[in-house]
């Protein structure tokens, strides 16, 4: 998925180039507890907004997109208690 982000990098003649604006992510995964490397994908499966992914690099779950309804299935359904949902900063 890292590759896909750069597959369509803005080209040089771009009239409407795109910025990478930073944002703080509400959902945090404790990598020591996450068992995605053994095949778990529960949080990625259940998230209604589809914003979690398993990292190719670490083999652990992480939040890829800051588009969270702070609804908590990811945290509730994680078998190992690895996920913490924080309230997104803008409405905290």
Partner 1 sequence: MDDITDGLTEVSCDILVIGGGTAGPMAAYKAKRRNPQARVVLLEKANVKRSGAIAMGMDGLNNAVVPGYATPEQYTKEITIANDGICDQAPVFKYASRCFDIIQELDSFGIRFQKTENGDYDVKKVHHLGTYVLPMPNGDTVKRALYRQLRREQILISNRYMATRLLTGRDGEIAGAIAVNTRTAEFLVLRAKAVILCAGAAGRLGLPQSGYLWGTYENATNSGDGYAMAYHAGAGLANLECYQINPLIKDYNGPACAYVAGPFGAYTTNSEGRRFIECDYWSGQMMQEFYSELQSGKGPVFLKLNHLHSDTIGKIEAILHTVERPSRGRFHENRGTDYRERMVEMHISEIGFCSGHSASGVFVDEFARTTVTGLYAAGDMASVPHNYMLGAFTNGAVAGEHAAEFAAGRDLPDYDPSDVEQERARVLAPTRRDDGIPPNQIEYKARRMVNDYLQPPKVTAKMKLGQERLAEVREDLEGAMVARDAHELLRSLEVASILDCADMAAAASLFRTESRWGLYHYRVDHPEKNDADWFCHSILRKQDGRMMLEKRPVAPYIVPIEDEERSAYDRQRIRESA
Partner 2 sequence: MSEPFEAFGDVEDLAADLASPDATVRRLAVMALAETSDWQAVPHLVAAIADAAPEVREQAARALGEFDGRAVGEALARAVTDSVAAVAAAAAESLAELRDADAGGALLALVAHPSPFVRTAILRGLKALQIEASLQPAITALSDVEPAVRVQAVGVIGYLKRQETLPALIGAARDGSAEVRLAAVKALSFADQSAEAAAAVSAALKDAAWEVRAAAAETLGRLGVSSASPALVAALADELWQVRQKALQNLGRLRAREALPAIIALLGDDNPSLRKDAAAALGEIADPASREALATRAQDADPDVRKTVAWALGRL
Q: Is 70 in the site for ligand SF4 (CB under 6 A)?
A: yes
Residues 30-69 that bind ligand SF4 (CB under 6 A): 34-36, 40-43, 47-49, 51-52, 61, 68-69
Output the 3-class SS for the chain. Answer: CHHHHHHCCCCCCCCCCCCCCCCCCCEEECCCCCCHHHCCCHHHHHCCCCCEEECCCCCCEEECCCCCCCCCHHHHHCCCCCEEECCCHHHC
**Beta partners for residue 54, in sequence order:** 61
Among 53, 64, 73, 84, binds ligand SF4 (CB under 6 A): 73
Q: Is 42 in the site for partner 2 (CB under 8 A)?
A: yes
Among 26, 27, 29, 40, binds partner 2 (CB under 8 A): 40
Q: What minimum distance in Å lies between the beta carbon of 12 and partner 1? A: 10
Q: Is 83 in the site for ligand SF4 (CB under 6 A)?
A: yes
């Amino acid at each position: 998925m890292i590759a896909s982000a750069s597959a369509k990098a803005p080209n040089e003649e771009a009239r409407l180039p795109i910025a990478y604006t930073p944002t703080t992510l509400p959902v945090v995964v404790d990598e020591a507890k996450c068992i995605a490397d053994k095949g778990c994908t529960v949080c990625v499966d259940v998230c209604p907004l589809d914003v979690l992914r398993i990292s190719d690099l670490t083999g652990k779950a992480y939040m890829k997109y800051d588009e969270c309804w702070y609804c908590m299935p990811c945290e509730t359904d994680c078998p190992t208690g690895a996920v913490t949902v924080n309230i997104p900063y803008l409405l905290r």
